[in-house]
Amino acid sequence: MILAKNAQDLTIKGLTGHKLLDKGKIFCYNMVSNIETLLKDGVFMDRTQQYIKKIERLLEERSKLEHILLQEKRLIKGSVITRFKKCGRKYCRCVTENQPHGPYLYLSRNIEGKTRLKRIKPEEEAWVVQYASNYREFRKARERIVKINAAILDLINTLEEVKSENYPEDTID
């Protein structure tokens, strides 16, 4: 490509008359085609980058969640809830003063579609509460990973569309 500040500069380089005109056309053509290519690449980059960035963010989030799943923590299925109880004795304060006993801790579990409560022994409260909390954390991370995986797949499919160049089909009769 000829690079010149002005016509005089081109003349000095030995380019005059129709030669100058031709070189000018080539110069302009190159400029326009370069700009077109740059714009096309720029739009392409913008469109692909936004999807790539989204995928990268999700991969990063998933990696953190995977660490939660891989921790060496024990789990117990169910959630710990508290309940107050009336003991059944006729003259107990739980009846006479409406002060039920407790709170007691229960492990609430879904067994065959039904919620079942199991009273946690006081001496076992510490580890059951901890393991149930670990279980909740595990399930939460797992649930989010399932959503992230679906979102990543959607983005990958979109990215494929965006990256794909159209090419005319054969029109052989």
Rounded to 5°, the CA angle 62-77-63 comes to 10
With respect to Zn ion, which residue has the nearer C-beta, 75 or 94? 94
Bridge-based pairing state of the strands 114-119 and 101-111: antiparallel
Which position among 2, 26, 43, 87 is part of the footprint of Zn ion (CB under 5 A)? 87
Which position among 81, 94, 152, 155 is part of the footprint of Zn ion (CB under 5 A)? 94
With respect to Zn ion, which residue has the nearer C-beta, 90 or 121? 90
With respect to Zn ion, which residue has the nearer C-beta, 85 or 142? 85
Q: What is the smallest separation between the CB atom of 150 and Zn ion, expressed in angstroms?
A: 51
With respect to Zn ion, which residue has the nearer C-beta, 87 or 111? 87
CA distance linking residue 3 with residue 20, whole number of Å: 12
User: Is residue 83 at the binding interface for Zn ion, with CB under 5 A as the rule?
Assistant: no
With respect to Zn ion, which residue has the nearer C-beta, 53 or 89? 89
User: Is residue 92 at the binding interface for Zn ion, with CB under 5 A as the rule?
Assistant: yes
CA distance linking residue 40 with residue 173, whole number of Å: 33
Q: In sequence order, which residues have a C-beta less than 8 Å from that of residue 69 and are 6 or more positions away?
A: 138, 141, 142, 145
Which runs of consecutive H residues, i.e. helices, occur in the chain? 7-12, 17-70, 93-96, 125-163
Contact 75, 131 (CB under 8 A): yes
With CB under 5 A as the contact rule, which of the stretches 3-11, 22-30, 31-39, 86-94 interacts with Zn ion? Answer: 86-94
User: Is residue 84 at the binding interface for Zn ion, with CB under 5 A as the rule?
Assistant: no
104 bridge partner residues: 83
User: Is residue 68 at the binding interface for Zn ion, with CB under 5 A as the rule?
Assistant: no
Q: What is the smallest separation between the CB atom of 105 and Zn ion, expressed in angstroms?
A: 18
Residues that bind Zn ion (CB under 5 A): 87, 92, 94
